[in-house]
Structure 1
Amino acid sequence: MKLQRSIVQLGLAVNLLAIVLMPLAARGHESRPAYLALNETAPGQFSVLWRTPVLAGMRLPVALNFPGSVRDRKEPVVSELSDSLVERRWIDAGPTRLAGERIVFSGLQLTITDVLVRLQRLDGTVSTVLVRPSRPWFEVVPASGITEIAIGYNLHGIEHILFGFDHLLFVCALILIVPNRRILLWTITAFTFAHSITLSLATLRLVHVPAPPVEAMIALSIMLLACEIVRSRCGQIGLTSRWPWIVAFSFGLLHGFGFASALMDIGLPHGDIPLALLSFNVGVEIGQLLFIGAVLGVFVLIRRHQVPSRIAGAAVPVASYAIGIISSFWFIERLTGIIG
């Protein structure tokens, strides 16, 4: 009886979070960052790669503005990809070599997207900065070592998992189907270990899996967990209820490819790949733990209050069907995109 009451209360907690996530459900990973790479090829001369994501067929409304002293050495080249617009430029920054100059991203303050900036000097020193909408510009300063790279990729990992609503719904389903805290710990650990493996393999290009099928299968994995929750409520004990860590590990391998796709969208700094990969992975785990802590925190708050039996009894089924409906929509949408 105590276990059943805990499941109902946890279901109510997840249901409240699902209501918050519902308006954002269809957005998927629309918070992909823009990316600016500046590579000094000669004193004061830079090759520039400026990549902005394309969302729903529309380019991110952000313009790259260099200081007035900067001039183009030749005409820019623009390439249109399926998910981004890439502009290549060759500039001459003069004797200042951009030191102390401010680069502005006009329109960034009107978005929820960050810009990852990587500056490589002629002497090999590297500076990496994460520019946020609240401060849509940055001043070029001498590189300060590996700390900026670690912090930049760590923050991006946190933001990716917190804005990756499909991954969050999967974790929600795991929490809902595994009421025992000890088993839940092992289940989340298995999920984390699995997606860390495929994230590393895919990012290092040891394994390649196309992104669209992966995204569709991630949505399918959430659907399957939602079905398992409903089945367990009907007294049918499935594989996930018996061995949740095995299922979490198997699907975690799939989700790792999704994380890798996001990391490759922004690119990895040459010479700093191990550090960037580790920092991003740690950021993903921090974001995941923050989300789990928030869900369990809401659960604790609800447990301290009396919940009407009619509402409590409907909490788990409603949460299960909400997760199933959202993931079904994602699966159909992504499968249609692959076929189309």
Structure 2
Amino acid sequence: MKLLAALLAMLLWLPGAARADELRPGYLEMSEQRDGDWRIVWKLPLAQPPAGAIPVPILPQSCRYREEPKQGFVGGAILGSGEAICTRSLAGGTIAVPVLAGPGDTLVRLAPLDQPVQVHRLTAAQPTATITGPASTWQVLQSYFVIGVEHILAGWDHLLFVIALVLLLRRPRAVVIAATAFTLAHSVTLAAAALGFVSMPQKPVEALIALSIVFMAAEILRKPGTTPSLTLRFPWVIALLFGLIHGFGFAGALSAIGLPPGDIVPALLAFNLGVEAGQILVVFAVLAALAAIRKLSQPVLQTGIRLASYGIGITGAYWLLDRILV
């Protein structure tokens, strides 16, 4: 009962406190324009404007800013840019971001002239990275896999769709088949959009994602004993169709992060695998919760699923109106 109460409280709290795709990792990019001359841009998400002066990123010891960088707080993030002069190679130096209070981590990309792009991931626990030389593909894979996991676990719109799918089907085999269809579909559109083969404006994509959540909640709440809907008869088809839309949402988040030019395919693969790993965790966690509640009481399970579905539907409707009207 405590588990059920916690789940319901979380779902009912969401409309006022959460927005979809909350995870927007910050980024800091240093690109060498000419030998020793670097262009630096950064975006550091923050929940509210910082009090007082905004600290600037800390450059490697061999570098200094040419002049005071330009910074401002726009759209929930610190946006900044500047130019630096570096007297020698960055290898062996350190780079740091003094402000890591946002919902995500910071991805650092170093692009020296005529060398592969190097990627580092900074966190609140480890806000400094040591530059060791050209990036390895394994380093890129690690960074983008973790970002993929974080994105699905903090992207509540995708997460609520997956939870609703589990609540609707409940049987492990049916859930696995439908989740696999959802995975295959959004993997296709994620890859196609990230590689530039197809595109779709993000605003209608986000509205359609919210609509998919409302649709799934309505399916769960259908009156028992009525003729099974198309969704219940062919859940994998519905998961496949909505998965195509959700893939564009994942692609939008990935485009905000960027892909390293020398390792586009590995980074895309790692991000997608991270998303799937996070999704699998959610599916099995919800199935385990349902099994535990079912052992306690079948009536409690049915009531809990309906109440959770109302919470999911209200959240999806709130997001839908917000994305259409704003």
The TM-score with structure 1 as length reference comes to: 0.85
Distance 1:125 1:276 in 2: 14
1:301 aligns to 2:292 (yes or no): yes
| 1:212 positional shift | 1.3
1:155 aligns to 2:154 (yes or no): no
State the secondary structure of the residue aligned to 2:221: helix
1:274 aligns to 2:265 (yes or no): yes
Sort the Cα spacing of 1:317 and 1:198 in 2 relative to 1 into closer, same or farther, 3 A. Answer: same
1:196 aligns to 2:199 (yes or no): no
- 1:83-94 pair list within 5 angstroms: 86-94=79-87
Which residue of 1 is the match for residue 300 of structure 2?
311
Q: After superposing the two structures, state which structure 1 stretch, 113-122 or 40-49, moved more.
A: 40-49
Q: Deviations over 1:270-319 (max 9, x none)?
A: 12111111111111101100111211222333344x33x65344212211
| 1:181 positional shift | 2.1
1:320 aligns to 2:309 (yes or no): yes
Distance 1:281 1:326 in 2: 26
State the secondary structure of the residue aligned to 2:222: helix
Which residue of 1 is the match for residue 229 of structure 2?
238
Which residue of 2 is the match for residue 248 of structure 1?
239
Q: Which amino acid is 2:177 matched to? A: W
Contact 2:117 2:262 in 1 (8 A): no
Sort the Cα spacing of 1:158 and 1:90 in 2 relative to 1 into closer, same or farther, 3 A. Answer: same
Q: Which amino acid is 2:259 matched to? A: L
Distance 1:174 1:116 in 2: 32
- Identify the match of residue 135 of structure 1 among 117, 126, 129: 126
State the secondary structure of the residue aligned to 2:28: strand
- 1:5-24 pair list within 5 angstroms: 16-24=6-14
Structure 2: give runs of 5+ residues left out of the alignment.
none
Distance 1:34 1:292 in 2: 28
Which residue of 2 is the match for residue 223 of structure 1?
214
Q: Which amino acid is 2:253 matched to? A: A
| 1:204 positional shift | 1.2
Which residue of 2 is the match for residue 180 of structure 1?
171
Q: Which amino acid is 2:9 matched to? A: I
Contact 1:14 1:176 in 2 (8 A): no
Which residue of 2 is the match for residue 168 of structure 1?
159
Cα RMSD (Å) = 2.8
Structure 1: give runs of 5+ residues left out of the alignment.
1-8
1:102 aligns to 2:91 (yes or no): no
- Identify the match of residue 329 of structure 1 among 306, 309, 318: 318
| 1:206 positional shift | 1.4
Which residue of 1 is the match for residue 21 of structure 2?
29
Distance 1:283 1:275 in 2: 12
| 1:42 positional shift | 3.8
State the secondary structure of the residue aligned to 2:322: helix
The alignment covers a number of residue pairs equal to 322
Q: Deviations over 1:251-274 (max 9, x none)?
A: 000000000000000111112111
- Identify the match of residue 110 of structure 2 among 111, 114, 119: 119
Distance 1:159 1:194 in 2: 20
State the secondary structure of the residue aligned to 1:52: strand
Distance 1:221 1:59 in 2: 36
> Identity across aligned pairs (percent)?
39
Contact 1:157 1:282 in 2 (8 A): yes
Q: Deviations over 1:78-126 (max 9, x none)?
A: 699767664332211213x333322221121x33320001112334133
Distance 1:327 1:153 in 2: 28
Distance 2:208 2:216 in 1: 12
Q: After superposing the two structures, state which structure 1 stretch, 66-75 or 140-149, moved more.
A: 66-75
Q: Deviations over 1:148-206 (max 9, x none)?
A: 11111111000000001111110111111112322221111110011011111111121
Contact 2:94 2:128 in 1 (8 A): yes
